[in-house]
């Protein structure tokens, strides 16, 4: 059985983690071997990087290039150690965030050059692309209502998150076959049904649970 790589994307508090976990549970019930992972922090090295890049230290501003390269280092390790071996073993890999997060946050959010960023990410991800990306779209006001900032990036202002959301929507328009946009303001159950319908269709699974 061929492996299948699904990524979840969206601004903070979009419900990605909940939905990714629900999808993993549904696919396991169908007998698929699922690896559920995340970025940053899907490996031991990655957990150290996550701490570095999302923590409140150093207090001096972290420059966008350094921030982006830390996410790239996390990704290089994650692809080599976790994602590629699992796909080669025929598993379904569900990753909470992947390259689109860098394009949206460091590209659109921080204003980094998109061409340069794409070239570096191509190297970091070893050319690996998701088979499907679920983009859970919520507006920034909803993200804010769902909770306060728990890390350095979440403490950025609303304009930063507006640019990120726009970035995700632009990515969705340029790559509609890969990126499946789902309305994140709907109930957890309904969002999960939409996602499962799309994934089961692509995997040729029975849509009934
Ligand atoms: P989360 O995994 O808890 O959603 O949070 C990770 C944070 O890191 C989130 O604010 C998005 C951010 N991030 C980037 O800015 N660029 C990236 O490439 C990745 C993977 C995450």
Q: What is the pLDDT of residues 188-208, one digit of tens each?
A: 999 999 999 999 999 988 776
> What is the distance in A from the centroid of ligand 1 to the CA of 96?
9
Q: What are phi and psi of 43, to 5 degrees?
A: -140, 175
Between the alpha carbon of residue 148 and those of residues 15, 47, 144, 151, 160, the distances in Å are 15, 22, 7, 9, 15
Residue 38 CB less than 6 A away from ligand 1: yes
Q: What are phi and psi of 152, to 5 degrees?
A: -60, -40
Residue 71 CB less than 6 A away from ligand 1: yes
Residue 154 CB less than 6 A away from ligand 1: yes
Q: What is the pLDDT of residue 207?
A: 72
Residue having the nearest C-alpha atom to atom 18 of ligand 1: 102
Which atom of ligand 1 approaches the CA of 109 most closely? 15
- % the chain with pLDDT above 70: 99
Q: What is the pLDDT of residue 152?
A: 85
CA angle 187, 16, 71 (to 5 degrees): 165
Residue having the nearest C-alpha atom to atom 16 of ligand 1: 102
Q: What is the pLDDT of residue 209?
A: 64
- What does DSSP say about strands 34-38 and 132-137: parallel, antiparallel, or unpaired? unpaired
The model's confidence at residue 155, banded by pLDDT at 50, 70 and 90, is confident
Q: What is the pLDDT of residue 183?
A: 96
Global pTM exceeds 0.75: yes
Q: What is the pLDDT of residues 12-48, one digit of tens each?
A: 999 999 999 999 999 999 999 999 999 999 999 999 9
> What is the distance in A from the centroid of ligand 1 to the CA of 39?
7
Q: What is the pLDDT of residues 48-103, one digit of tens each?
A: 999 999 988 777 889 999 999 999 999 999 999 999 999 999 999 999 999 999 99
Q: What is the pLDDT of residues 99-115, one digit of tens each?
A: 999 999 999 999 999 99
Instruction: Give the C-alpha separation, 206 to 185, whole Å.
Output: 26
pLDDT (mean) for 3-17: 96
Q: What is the pLDDT of residue 1?
A: 53
Q: What is the pLDDT of residue 134?
A: 98
Q: Is the pLDDT of residue 169 over 90?
A: yes
User: What's the mean pLDDT when you consider all of the chain?
Assistant: 95
């Amino acid at each position: 059985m061929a492996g299948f790589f699904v990524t979840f994307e969206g601004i903070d508090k979009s419900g990605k983690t909940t939905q990714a976990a629900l999808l993993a549970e549904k696919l396991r019930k169908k007998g698929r071997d699922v690896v559920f992972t995340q970025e940053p922090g899907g490996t031991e090295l990655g957990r150290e990087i996550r701490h570095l890049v999302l923590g409140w230290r150093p207090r001096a501003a972290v420059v966008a290039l350094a921030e982006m390269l830390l996410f790239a280092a996390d990704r290089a390790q994650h692809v080599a150690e976790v994602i590629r071996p699992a796909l080669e073993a025929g598993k379904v890999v569900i990753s909470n965030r992947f390259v689109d997060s860098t394009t949206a946050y460091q590209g659109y959010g921080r204003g980094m050059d998109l061409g340069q960023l794409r070239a570096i990410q191509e190297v970091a991800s070893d050319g690996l692309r998701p088979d499907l990306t679920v983009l859970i779209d919520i507006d920034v006001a909803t993200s804010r209502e769902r909770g306060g900032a728990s890390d350095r990036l979440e403490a950025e202002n609303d304009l930063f998150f507006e640019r990120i959301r726009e970035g995700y929507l632009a990515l969705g328009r340029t790559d509609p076959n890969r990126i499946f946009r789902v309305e994140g303001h709907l109930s957890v159950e309904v969002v999960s049904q939409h996602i499962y319908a799309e994934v089961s269709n692509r995997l040729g699974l029975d849509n009934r649970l």
